[in-house]
Amino acid sequence: MGRLAGAARALLGNRWGRAALALVAVVAVVVAVVVLRGGDSDEPVAGTTTTTTTDSTPTVPDPPSDLRFLPEDADAPGSPAPLTGLPASDDALARPAIAAKVDNLDTASETARPQAGLAHADVVVEQLVEGGITRFVAVLHSTGVDDVGPIRSARTTDVDLVPMFGRALFAYSGGNGGVLAQVRGSGRFVDASGGEPVYHRVSDRRAPHNLFLRPAQQWARPGDATSPPALGPFSTAIADGDEVEGVTLSWSGAAAVGVSWSWEAGAARWVRYQNDSVHLTSEGYAIGPRNVVLMFVEYRPSVVDARSPEAVTVGSGDAWVLRDGRLIGARWERADAGSPLTLVDDEGAAVTLTPGRTWIELLAPGSVVVDG
């Protein structure tokens, strides 16, 4: 508790602490959410619930000693990839990013786990959808993989979010009429929601959790998509910040998943836990990025479906950057939907990331508990 208390004092003593209105005590009031078709007809139906949770000593699990991570080679030949800062081949650097909408339903009766390809993505963005369910935008660029998925439907959050990665190939599976009108009318990315041979269904999972994308087939059909802008800057220098053991995230809703990130010092990675177990991919890799960016954003009702939350990712707001076992206060900025994400400190200087993969969490303020 000593380090947790110290971290809490340090964070609450500056303007970055505003993002965690309940850093050590989380109070979440869940408003009535009725989920019928926020773009899908298969989401759980949530009734009216009010939940209050107070936890002054969150416990982030210790990672097992036998975790297997996707290897990264900082000494490989090639130029730095824009989304990881790690060496990549010329062919990989020249291709566009694929932003794939990946399922994350994970209840006692139905689950999308294990997902394919998440460990291979340069960046993954987690966003809230209906009923407390989250979905991922898995951004693949420097590294290929056979399959990514399960692929699910778009939301209005994606219209501004996907262009963060340049003129990307947006891979998704349908959506309601209002969402599709916005997605297809955006003009800021290439609609990559086509059929075979890019997409295929597997027989060992039931619909709708059985649709997968073949990235190689999609990259062979780039349209006018372009390579992504840099997410960095990247630096191997140890950043200043408060040492933390991990963080626990609070997603509100009837089908919300429990998510925590735990620092594994031996591997120099943040290990993701979901519903109390290590989040593994279908390839057998543990989710273990070098960086986790907590972006505190406004969620508002989607203009095309008030039952669907829409994350505001244009403008600016508070952020926390987890790297090197430390938590760094920051501010995220995007001038418009065509701009990449930038992270700056209190003086306006760029906050660097460790070379490697990054996960970005789109969170409401007051939804994170720090484990010291």
Burial of 17 (0-12, 13-18, 19+ CB in 10 A): middle
2-67+232-371 and 79-219: identical CATH topology:
yes
- Burial readout 155-191 (b: 16 or more C-beta within 10 A, e: otherwise): bbbbbbbbbbbbbbbbbbbbbbeebbebbeebebbbe
Residue 50 has a pLDDT of 27
From its phi and psi, is residue 11 left (phi > 0), alpha (psi between -120 and 50) or beta? Answer: alpha
Q: What is the dihedral of CA 6, 323, 126, 199, to 10 degrees?
A: -160
Residue 325 has a pLDDT of 97
Residue 371 has a pLDDT of 87
Residues 6+ apart with CB under 8 A from 245: 3, 60, 262, 263, 371, 372
Residues 6+ apart with CB under 8 A from 146: 116, 117, 214, 215, 216
User: DSSP 3-state assignment of 202?
Assistant: coil
Residue 19 near residue 319, CB atoms below 8 Å: yes
Q: Token pair of 249, please?
A: 């995230």
Under CATH, which architecture does the 79-219 domain have?
Answer: 3-Layer(bba) Sandwich (3.50)
Residue 65 has a pLDDT of 65
Q: How many other CB atoms sit within 10 Å of the CB of residue 346?
A: 11
- Over the chain (372 residues), the average pLDDT of each successive run of 10 is 35 40 34 35 32 42 79 94 98 98 94 97 97 96 98 97 98 95 94 93 95 98 97 92 96 87 96 96 98 98 93 98 97 96 95 98 94 81
Residue 278 has a pLDDT of 97
Handedness of CA 287, 190, 354, 372 (dihedral sign): negative
Separation of alpha carbons 5 and 269, rounded Å: 23
Identify each DSSP E strand in 103-240 by its residue range.
123-128, 134-140, 169-171, 190-191, 199-201, 211-213
Residue 189 has a pLDDT of 97
Residue with tokens 């989040």: 279
Residue 238 has a pLDDT of 86
Closest CA to 267 of 63, 60, 61, 3: 63
Every domain of the chain and the residues it spans: 2-67+232-371, 79-219
Q: Token pair of 185, please?
A: 């009318």
Class of the 2-67+232-371 domain? alpha beta
User: DSSP 3-state assignment of 9?
Assistant: helix
Residue 36 has a pLDDT of 29
